[in-house]
Structure formats: structure tokens, C-alpha cells
Amino acid sequence: MGARPVFADIDPGTLNLSVESLEEASRKEATIKAVIPVHFAGLPCDMNAINATAEKWGAAIIEDAAHAFGASYPDGGKVGNCVNSLMTVFSFHPVKAIAAGEGGLITTNDEATYKRLLRLRSHGINKGDDPMLNPGAAQEDGEPNLWYYEMQELGFNYRITDIQSALALSQFGKLDAFLERRKELALRYDAAFASMATLKPAQPVGRDRSAHHIYPVRIDFAKSGLTRTRLMHGLRERDIGTQVHYIPVYLQPYYRNLGYKPGACPTAEAYYREALSLPLYYSLANSDQDRVVSALNELLQ
Ligand SMILES: Cc1ncc(COP(=O)(O)O)c(C=O)c1O
């Protein structure tokens, strides 16, 4: 898009965008046109606070709710209501709460944005009652030219298929049950880890409103005498899959090649050094979850 991303740091308690860091970014940058907060792991950000800051610069807010389908804000509103943003984007990638194969969804309350998104997803071609840029070519002697359409700007082929949409729609009705079970599992982990010395839940807040897409923990590897590599391999030998969410984006080679440097977001980097995401999914049985807890206790003692 020709835009230059500025990375703001996270809050250590929620792992979401830190409003202080956002303010700081604005002191270094002449113009900020958009703010893209992520509802990390399914825990919604405080959008009132983010909006209050972004509003001062006239920046558009695009909420990344890839993890937060069905979650609620601190004020009780549902994620995606766009009360504090221009739009909210959701993901139906296979690991996400709703199965659709691939694809996603965008919500907005802004009609012009809605219509533009419809055009952009289909090669920039006008849709429905969009005004023609060249109305003279659209009709002849008062009759519409039935073949006529306009490509009004450069767009994409970002269309979700009907088959994927049907699958996603069939899953919507199950969402509450999915969320309820995920919350239950998160609370079971919280209770199991309450007395562990080297492992702590990384986001132990908002259990009643998070979508619990991920259950991240922080591990004091120095104190545990085990590296993350050894721990992940030890768990894998016990048929337990874990992952790290995420490597700070600007540490990826693409961004390093653009000049971004380590140290930009110290809180995110400190979290990354200690982070591990544990198995959490709707069909995870209590007995399997207990096995994860036992394996961690055994390996990290
Ligand atoms: C926080 C976050 N944002 C965006 C995405 C991208 O979603 P998609 O792959 O549906 O484009 C992901 C996917 O993993 C994600 O985790």
C-alpha cells in the first residue's frame, strides 16, 4: 500500500496494544493514518482508550479480530460492532474458532467503506447500485446496456467461495458452545498452574469475555533449568503439540531488511522469550488436558 508500519509495544498484563506505546509512536511520527490493534489470543483490547488516542490524529482504526470471534469488549459490546473503529476483520483460517477452510469476514458501520470493500474483493469492479464513473456508456436511448460494468480501481480476487461460506454459516450456531468449552478449559489450566513456580498463565484476565483462541503461558526457563527447545521436544515426545505465538513481527527477515531493529518493543520481546501456547481446542478432553499439566510439571520441576 506504500504505507510504513510503526510497531507499538504491548501491555504486559493483557499482551494487547499498549496505549502508552501508541502515544509514544505518535510523538515520533508526523502522521499516523491507521491504527491496527490485535485482540491477542481472543482477549479484546480496550477500544474506548485506543479510539480516544487515534481520534486525536484522525487515524482510521482497523481491529484485527482474527482471534476474537464471539468475544466481548470491557464495556460488554460484541467484538465487531465497530463502535470505536472503521472496521473489524475476522479470520476463518483452519486453526480459528470457526471452520470454513479459509476465508474471513469484515464488519463496518460505514456504508462507503462497505461498498468499497465489495469492489476491492472483486477486481475493483462496481457492484449493485454503485454509481458509474462513465454513466453515458451504461445506457443507450434510456435503456441500460446490460453488458456494461466498470472496473473503477485496482482490486483483488479476495472472494470467499459459497461452499466455504455455507460451512462457516453452519458453524455460527455452534459458536457459543465452542466459546463456553474454551473458557472452561482456560479456567482448568489457570487452576492447575496456580501453584507452579516457573510457569504462569500469560493473560490471566478477562476470562468471561475472551474467545480463548490461544492459551499462552510464560515460563521462566532460566529458573526451570530447561530451554524452550528441550521443553517443546519433551512435550512432543509425549504427543503434546505446543507453539510460540508469536515471534515479534519486526524481527522477521522481511522487516529486518527494511531496517527495523531488535529492541523496538521491549515488552513484546520479553514476552516472546518466555512464551509458549498450550493445547486448547473445543474437543480437548479433560483427561488429555490433565496429561498436558502432568507433563509440564514433570519436565519443569
Ligand atoms: C492475529 C492475526 N491476524 C491476522 C491473521 C491472518 O488471518 P488470515 O490468514 O485469515 O488472513 C492471523 C492468522 O493467523 C492472525 O492470527
- The mean of the pLDDT values for the chain is 96
Ligand 1 centre and the CA of 91: distance in Å? 6
Give the residue whose CA is nearest to atom 16 of ligand 1. 66
Q: What is the pLDDT of residue 126?
A: 94
Give the three-class secondary structure for 278: strand
Instruction: State yes or no: pLDDT of 7 exceeds 80.
Output: yes
Residue type (1 letter), 46 = D
Q: How far apart are CA 44 and CA 68, in angstroms?
A: 7
Q: How confident is the model at residue 97 (pLDDT cuts 50, 70, 90)?
A: confident
Nearest atom within ligand 1 for CA of residue 95: 14
| CA–CA gap between residue 298 and residue 301 (Å, rounded) | 6
In one letter, which amino acid is 212? H
> Strands, E, within the chain: which ranges?
34-35, 60-64, 87-91, 104-108, 139-140, 143-144, 199-201, 215-219, 275-278
Q: How far is the CA of 134 from the centre of ligand 1 (A)?
A: 38
| Residue with CA nearest ligand 1 atom 15 | 66
Residue 199: C-alpha distances to residues 5, 63, 278, 300 (Å): 33, 30, 12, 8
Mode of pairing for the β-strands spanning 199-201 and 143-144 = unpaired
Render pLDDT for 141-155 as a digit per residue (tens, 0 to 9): 999 999 999 999 999
Ligand 1 contact via 66 beta carbon (within 6 Å) = yes
pLDDT digits (tens, 9 = 90+) for 162-210: 999 999 999 999 999 999 999 999 999 999 999 999 999 999 999 999 9
**For residue 142, how far is its CA from the centre of ligand 1 (angstroms)?**
47
Which single residue is written with the C-alpha cell 529486518? 256
Q: Is 54 in the pocket of ligand 1 (CB under 6 A)?
A: no
Neighbours of 216 (CB within 10 A): 21
Ligand 1 nearest-atom number relative to CA 92: 10
pLDDT at position 181: 98
Pocket of ligand 1, candidates 69, 79, 93: which has the most ligand atoms within 8 Å of its Cβ, to mutate? 93
Percent of the chain with pLDDT over 70: 100
98 CA distance to ligand 1 middle (Å): 13
Residues 17-55 have pLDDT tens digits of 999 999 999 888 889 999 999 999 999 999 999 999 999
Q: With H, G, I as helix, E, B as strand and everything else as coil, classify residue 195.
A: coil
Q: Whose CA is nearest to atom 9 of ligand 1?
A: 93
Q: What is the pLDDT of residues 47-90, one digit of tens each?
A: 999 999 999 999 999 999 999 999 999 889 999 999 999 999 99
- Known catalytic residue at 96: yes
- For ligand 1, atom 5: residue with the closest CA: 66
* Cβ–ligand 1 contact at 42 (below 6 Å): no
